[in-house]
Amino acid sequence: MPDFHKLSIQHITRETSQAVSITFDVPSALKETYTFIPGQYITIKTEIKGTEVRRAYSICSSSKSGELKVAVKEIKDGTFSVIANNELKVGDILEVHPPEGQFLLNTGTSAGNTYTAFAAGSGITPIMSMIKSVLEEETNGRFVLVYGNKTPEDTIFHKELLELQTAYPNRLFIEFIYSRSQQEQAHFGRIEKSTVNYVLKNKFKDTTFNAFYLCGPEEMINTVTHILQENGVDKNQIHFELFTSSSEETEIDADLEGKTSVTLIVDDEEFNFIMDQKKTLLDAALIEDIDAPYSCQGGVCSSCICRISEGEAIMEKNSILTDGEIAEGLVLACQAHPTSGSIKVDFDDV
């Protein structure tokens, strides 16, 4: 797994009263390392009050722009997000992991694809990268964005999106939705069944969509996915990434009172230790001071995906891996508890 690199902050832009975008200065020698596909994220590592903190943030610049930029929304009682919005300054150094993630839009097709995205709040960040990349790289590509926020003032990239819409009037179409503000040429409320049906059956009823990208809270993603499938959209056309996950955890139907002998492989090194089954595989690895990959630790990103090649494990929750991937032995280490007497965990074979 590639290492973190120390990158300096090149620009900080205030996007809303509670969000900033951060552009990193990537040295020429690392340009290839930080090449990304629209939709991917980086993990930022820093130390706050003596404790290591890692946070994943989606890249919001276009893939051909040469920029590595993310947006950070301040979270009440947050850690890094508060510092990013109030203390970081140009020239500060942060450790940044190279881009990763499975929420991807591969651009470059000349087929004239039409993409649709449903985003809420800070869920716009990976979608912004997708929109700009499609407009820049696909001559005939079109994009429909359905974007929900409280008010225009709370809308990250509001001004930039309007400018893009003006620059590409026949290729970018935006439906703004506000839950706390009545605005002309915008919808009032939230992204729900009527919103999806309006797009599919009314405003764009004669449009063939090639792919749908959903990013935001879990409830929104579940609602939109359900309605899309009700309208005959193939599930393989629907791609999503959670920005917040349900706080509810799945009740594990297993006795986790025992211990497990673990063989863990990461970066071509093998580690052996005994762990308590009540702990997750990631927690146990970190206790053993093993540099296993991780970021959010909440089952939202995909940084800690690993493969169980021997033994068994069960996850508290999963909103990322498909049934097929789970059948192949993939798990989220931050959510997985071993249930067998021994287990072999491979972070390299994913």
Identify the CA nearest to 317 among candidates 212, 218, 227.
Answer: 218
Domain contains 209: yes
Domain boundary among 70, 96, 122: 96
Domain contains 145: yes
DSSP output for 6-67 = EEEEEEEEEEETTEEEEEEE--GGGTTTT---TT-EEEEEEEETTEEEEEEEEB-S-TTS--
pLDDT average, residue stretch 331-336: 95
The whole-angstrom separation of Cα 195 and Cα 189 is 9
| Phi, psi for 118 (deg, rounded to 5) | -115, 115
Residue 52 has pLDDT above 60, yes or no: yes
Quick one: pLDDT band at residue 255, thresholds 50, 70, 90? confident
Identify the CA nearest to 195 among candidates 245, 137, 145, 240.
Answer: 145
Identify the H or E element spanning 5: strand 5-16
Is 162 found in the same domain as 42? no
* CATH number of the domain where residue 225 is located: 3.40.50.80
Is 308 found in the same domain as 200? no
* CATH number of the domain where residue 337 is located: 3.10.20.30
The SS3 of residue 336 is strand
Answer with the residue of higher pLDDT: 109 or 123. Answer: 123
Tally of structural domains, the chain:
3
State residue 318's pLDDT score: 83
Residue 301 has pLDDT above 90, yes or no: no
The whole-angstrom separation of Cα 149 and Cα 221 is 15
Is 289 found in the same domain as 201? no
Quick one: pLDDT band at residue 248, thresholds 50, 70, 90? very low
Domain boundary among 182, 216, 244: 244
pLDDT average, residue stretch 128-149: 96
pLDDT average, residue stretch 224-247: 86
- Determine the Cα angle at 17 with ends 13 and 23, to 5°: 20
216-227, pLDDT tens digit by residue? 998 999 999 999
Is 202 found in the same domain as 143? yes
Answer with the residue of higher pLDDT: 301 or 279. Answer: 279
Strands (E) in 179-335, as ranges, are 187-188, 211-217, 238-244, 259-266, 269-276, 305-310, 313-315, 330-332
Residue 14 burial class via C-beta count within 10 angstroms: exposed 0-12, middle 13-18, buried 19 and up: exposed
Domain contains 101: no
Is 121 found in the same domain as 228? yes
Quick one: pLDDT band at residue 297, thresholds 50, 70, 90? confident
Is 283 found in the same domain as 195? no
The whole-angstrom separation of Cα 18 and Cα 122 is 11
Domain boundary among 214, 244, 274: 244
Domain contains 249: no
Q: Name the residue range of residue 137's domain.
A: 114-244
Is 224 found in the same domain as 135? yes
192-206, pLDDT tens digit by residue? 999 999 999 999 999
State residue 97's pLDDT score: 96
Please, are residues 280 and 335 in contact by the beta-carbon 8 Å criterion? Answer: yes
Residue 246 has pLDDT above 80, yes or no: no
Residue 39 has pLDDT above 70, yes or no: yes
Percentage of residues of the chain with pLDDT beyond 90? 80
Domain contains 46: yes
Is 233 found in the same domain as 125? yes
Residue 83, both tokens: 């510092």
pLDDT average, residue stretch 295-319: 89
State residue 252's pLDDT score: 57
State residue 299's pLDDT score: 81
* CATH number of the domain where residue 81 is located: 2.40.30.10
Is 123 found in the same domain as 78? no
Residue 110 has pLDDT above 80, yes or no: no
Domain contains 103: no
Residue 242 has pLDDT above 90, yes or no: no
Mean pLDDT for all residues in the chain: 92
Quick one: pLDDT band at residue 32, thresholds 50, 70, 90? very high
Is 150 found in the same domain as 126? yes
The whole-angstrom separation of Cα 264 and Cα 291 is 11
Domain contains 156: yes
Is 333 found in the same domain as 213? no
Answer with the residue of higher pLDDT: 74 or 251. Answer: 74
Answer with the residue of higher pLDDT: 249 or 40. Answer: 40
Is 59 found in the same domain as 122? no
State residue 247's pLDDT score: 44
Domain contains 254: no
State residue 251's pLDDT score: 53
Please, are residues 96 and 24 in contact by the beta-carbon 8 Å criterion? Answer: yes
State residue 300's pLDDT score: 79
What letter does residue 203 receive in the DSSP assignment?
Answer: I
